Amino acid sequence: MSKGALSGIRVVDLGTVIAGPYNTMQLADLGAEVIKIEEPGAAERRNLPGAGAIGYQSPDLVPVGSYRDRNKEAMSLNLHNPKGLEILFQLIRTADVVTENFSPGTMDRLGIGYEILKEINPKLVYASVSAFGQTGSYRHHRGYDILAQARTGFASVTGFPDDPPTRAGNSITDYFTGLLAAFSILAALNHVNSTGRGQAIDIALFEGLFMTLEGYVERTLNDDEVPSRQGNESLTHGASCGVYYAKDTNLIAIDVHRDAWWHAFCESIGKPELSTDPETTDYHARSTNPNKTRQIISDWAKQYAAADAEFFLTSRGIPAARVLTLQEMVELPYVKERNLYPTVDHPRAGPITLTGSPYGGLSKTPGTVFSHSPVPQEHRDTVLTRVLGYSMDYINELAGEGAFSV
């Protein structure tokens, strides 16, 4: 187990799907002891091979849950069985944090809501993630990333002006919300250290994505403006910060919104007169004349292959980047230099490569990826003996009484 910045913090993780496990993955990467509690059968589904898509489960593919549940211990409990529920209560008595992302009311119906648990552990930090929060008129609405993108208006400003609203490619809502939950947990733990009192945390997918609409929402609320879809151009900077076709039909992102970058660009392409052209001389002029700005950048980019254009600009201090495929990205020297894809051994899949910890930059306590995602009941016996002091005879007795299975 890691000796990271959060070493000594114990988390009982009841999270599922993406937002919940991604939240506790942050804590585990930083050294917290995360004990994942799953309903019977959930670990088997999490360990299915493949990307999780229906009909896409080749036995040669990496298990679905390999990424978000790395660095954790796991066991299954039947929370509808009094013995299984009692085990959970005992674990929570020893915990600093409990996390869950069930629909509001589920934990209360199981008898493990915050009002009950704070009585047995007053210092407990209890983090709940749901689609629309624990309060409000939408609290009982179910929801995943695509619904949050729809209801927040995020999809309405994503895509090209003449195309329908578009979903962002990945489940960004879950990842943003997971990060917000982890950040909130750290703030609440600091409060515990100061006061000795825990608290409940209510995080919603809606608000996780809502926070990314900074700029859009302010324009809507304050200026009565209806922001439009900008395609591959910045909402704020327009054509000066966009994606353009190169000669080889590959794409390159170019950012010359700052006047210094624009002037360097004009000088570098042999057209210094554009720096003093009243229609493009400064940020305001370029924003007022986006078509001319767009045409200048586009005409230049089409003269070069994307890789050559990228080198030409970046070597002159002008921000630019080719639009890479994932296959191209993982081959970048940078990825290897920063250890962004470490390898761990998985008992079923063998050596597997995972996305690395983003916290490797902590100079004293860097985040690490040190273990695979657990297979079903992998840590049941070690957790129950180490944390609760159970004997193997008692664990076997509990198993016979259905504490771990249906």
Q: Which residues are annotated as catalytic?
A: 174
Straight-line distance from the first to the last Cα atom of the chain, in angstroms, rounded to the nearest whole number: 30
Residues 6+ apart with CB under 8 A from 21: 13, 15, 36, 65, 68, 69, 178
Report the candidate in 108, 178, 182, 186 with the shortest Cα–Cα distance to residue 148: 178
Between helices 259-268 and 306-314, what is the axis angle to 10°?
120
SS3 labels along 322-334: ECCCHHHHCCCHH
Answer whether 125's CB lies under 8 Å from 185's CB. Answer: yes
Report the candidate in 101, 42, 114, 104 with the shortest Cα–Cα distance to residue 75: 42
Do β-strands 73-76 and 97-100 pair in parallel, antiparallel, or remain unpaired?
unpaired
d(CA 217, CA 263): 32
- Residue whose token pair is 């919300």: 177
- Residue whose token pair is 């609203």: 165
